A and B are shown apart, each in its own frame.
Chain A
Amino acid sequence: MSDFDRRSVLKAGLGGAALLAGPGIVPVRAAEWTNTPEPNASIRVLRWKQFIQAEFDKFAEQTKKFSEKTGIKVKLEAESWEDIRPKAAVAANVGAGPDLIVGTLDDPFKFPEKLIDVTDVADYLGKQYGGWYPVAERYGKKGNNWIAIPQGATGGCLNYRISHVKAAGFEEFPKDTAGFLKLCQALKKNNTPAGFALGHATGDANGWCQWALWAFGGKVVNDKNEVVLDAPETIAALEYVKQLYATFIPGVLSWNDSNNNKAFLNGELSLTLNGISIWTVGKNSPDPKQQEIAKDMNHAPMPIGPVGVPTEQQNVLVYYGYKHSKYPKAVKEYIKFMMDKENYDAWEVASNGYVSPPLPAYNDNPVWTSDPKITPYRDCLKRCRDNGYAGDLGYASAAVMGDFVVVDMFAEAASGQATPQEAAKRAAERAKRYYQV
């Protein structure tokens, strides 16, 4: 009996419950939420601009519902998520502006002391729905406290033309980097090329370049935040991408986040990294050519490299409220309301699976299985690493990404502007300038 004390029984019980809660079967326990918003509260919310209109409409509808229910007035504004970053920075710096921002990645880690502590919201959601994905926790938590609540990720998967991949000799989409290279080479040979952004495209270029770096064991920093970019693993990744680049459609060095969408829907591209928007736009387009392309499309996770585990980088979206807000409790109430499963699910359905959820319990939403083409987007955060890997999220990780250090390194090596060795060395020097601080 001594082997089964109360503590171990409790542990086993919680573990089992957590296992069940993981796939979204049951919540661990009904969490308590005690928050009394300030009377006559009024908040200003700035969020990322929609790629899918129905998604934003639903978000606005939910916001209205929130106001009706709580009496808290919400002024909702939207900006391109590229433009939110400067606005968020200015708001943090001057102590005025929106009360709440739904922005991207590690922006909150650039000014954590300016943000409302949202640990209670995170704890509530985590307990209520069986825990966060580890990467979501990384994007929300600084030390022991949460400074942001992950909304999900505008999931990035490989978008490909089924018929072109089959014509290239692949019945199934390759799951490893070696097969992926062979596929790209065969697509090029058939004059139905792949194309991945290598310009200063924050979402797409960073997304696939970080994947490639990590897939071969490379990383900007180690777990002590020491720059280790100039390493054989990085060179291997650069050599690999150099071979991939040779198979790409011309012009990718200039591509920003919208180029691949346009080229794909124009029938000039067979394979790229993107959110689900190409397919959704094509499916809903009045143009029969685009509808045809959407029918011939499918999605797949990024292939696994020599490291043997998924190494995706995703555009994670985060809620963060400012301390300068006069109504911090109203801000937290709003986040909690929008993240509650019932509301989140309805919004997710409207967005057609545009945002990959940060809580595994939300994976049971029927939208993910309503069409098998949507399913790969469901698990984006499960396969994802944070962009500070293997170090901390913070000023330096955000700066390295904001300054396109990794993207420029791949672009230099791939285009032959520098050898892989030179490119890795130069990028390491650039990264060191940020990590020295």
Chain B
Amino acid sequence: MAVMAEPVAAQVKRSSLWSRAFESRNFLGAMFMVPAIAILILFLAYPLALGFWLGMTDTKIGGVGRYIGFQNFVSLSKDSVFWLSVFNTIFYTVFASIVKFAIGLYLALLLNERLPFKSMLRAIVLLPFVVPTVLSAIAFWWIYDSQFSIISWVLIKAGLLTHYIDFLGDPWNARWSVVLANIWRGVPFVAITLLAGLQTISPSLYEAANLDGATNMQRFRHITLPMLSPIIAVVMTFSVLMTFTDFQLIYTITRGGPINATHLMATLSFQRAITGGNLGEGAAISNAMIPFLVAAILLSFFGLQRSRWQQGGRD
């Protein structure tokens, strides 16, 4: 009996330890965090780490790669198509993001005013965001078609042109064309989010400014813009990230052509990894996007810090 009593006592001791642990706020808090941490590790950290690892290997489709260090990056540094895709990505992101912001802000300000049919107008603004990307890409592909473009057709019928515009067959035309498609697609996100931000600004601030005799421009510059800056920082971070990593629009409209003039890093990564079978190099191209994306996030982070300071908080 004495032999049996000892393990039972140990069990009771362990059980009480376990029970006591659950009475601790810190332990309980940590336990509640476990599922969230597990999800983050499984679905965010692991794929990212795997991407890093693949970029350092010569993995081919269906094969097991071996570690080759930075060889993929060295090889890419000598690859003219890769550098062209870097240029295209930056060009695409900068121009599309700036225009999306300008149009989005304008629409947000407009929709924040007292307008007739305001709800309907807001719904219309959201439409491009509602349509699946691939569908809108196919629509643009037709709009830009070298033989059947509605734009060229209208301009020719109006007597303004004699030839169809080669939207996608000329490198620079193609770049601007895909930028325009991205702007159309991305404006609603910017507009609606900024509109939400505008509606959080207290009307009393504008009333006080009116009493002080502020002009519209002064009200915009000294009230709207500073109050909106945290939202702008968030919106522009997301807008830049989504534009920089865009894939569907380009892949559907041009597949990176003509002569790689519209290849973004994301589309080139797919082409090299999946179509070309070189997973390692494809992953390396994706990894090469990370410094740019981190820079965009840091920019937004510091922007947010600054806006907190503007609102009287501590940095």
Tell me the A residues contacting B by CB distance below 8 Å: 85-86, 89-90, 92-93, 110-111, 113-114, 198-200, 249-256, 259, 262-263, 266, 268, 395, 398-399, 402-404, 408, 411-412, 415, 417, 426, 429-430, 433-434, 437
Contact between A86 and B146, CB atoms less than 8 A apart: no
| CA–CA, A256 and B169, complex, Å | 11
A256: B residues at CB distance < 8 A: 255
A93: B residues at CB distance < 8 A: 61-62, 279
Choose, from B23-31, B160-168, B199-207, the stretch at the interface.
Answer: B160-168
B144: A residues at CB distance < 8 A: 254
B residues 247-278 near A (Cβ < 8 Å) are 254-260, 270-272, 274-278
| CA–CA, A90 and B282, complex, Å | 14
Q: Whole-angstrom distance from the CB of B178 to the nearest CB of chain A?
A: 11
Contact between A255 and B146, CB atoms less than 8 A apart: yes
A199: B residues at CB distance < 8 A: 168-169, 254-255, 257-258
Chain A CB within 10 Å, residue with most, of B63, B146, B170: B146
Contact between B166 and A251, CB atoms less than 8 A apart: yes
Given the contacts A262-B148, A417-B171, A426 and B80 also touching, CB distance less than 8 Å:
yes
Tell me the B residues contacting A by CB distance below 8 Å: 58, 60-63, 75, 78-81, 144-148, 163-164, 166-171, 174, 254-260, 270-272, 274-279
Contacting residue for A408 out of B63, B170, B259, B270, CB 8 A: B259
Contact between A399 and B276, CB atoms less than 8 A apart: yes
B257: A residues at CB distance < 8 A: 199-200, 253-254, 404, 411
Given the contacts A399-B278, A411-B259, A250 and B163 also touching, CB distance less than 8 Å:
yes
Residue of B nearest to A114 (CB): B62
Contact between A251 and B147, CB atoms less than 8 A apart: yes
Residue of B nearest to A263 (CB): B147
Query: At the interface, is chain B mostly helix, strand, loop or mixed?
Result: loop
Contact between A250 and B164, CB atoms less than 8 A apart: yes
Query: At the interface, is chain A mostly helix, strand, loop or mixed?
Result: helix
B167: A residues at CB distance < 8 A: 254
Contact between B62 and A250, CB atoms less than 8 A apart: no
Contact between B62 and A111, CB atoms less than 8 A apart: yes
Contact between B277 and A259, CB atoms less than 8 A apart: no
Given the contacts A254-B166, A411-B259, A402 and B58 also touching, CB distance less than 8 Å:
no
Given the contacts A89-B61, A199-B258, A417-B259, A430 and B79 also touching, CB distance less than 8 Å:
yes
Contacting residue for A86 out of B145, B166, B259, B274, CB 8 A: B274
A113: B residues at CB distance < 8 A: 62-63
| CA–CA, A434 and B169, complex, Å | 27
Contact between B81 and A430, CB atoms less than 8 A apart: yes
| CA–CA, A198 and B75, complex, Å | 27
Contact between A251 and B146, CB atoms less than 8 A apart: yes
A398: B residues at CB distance < 8 A: 276-277
| CA–CA, A254 and B173, complex, Å | 11
B279: A residues at CB distance < 8 A: 93
| CA–CA, A256 and B141, complex, Å | 11
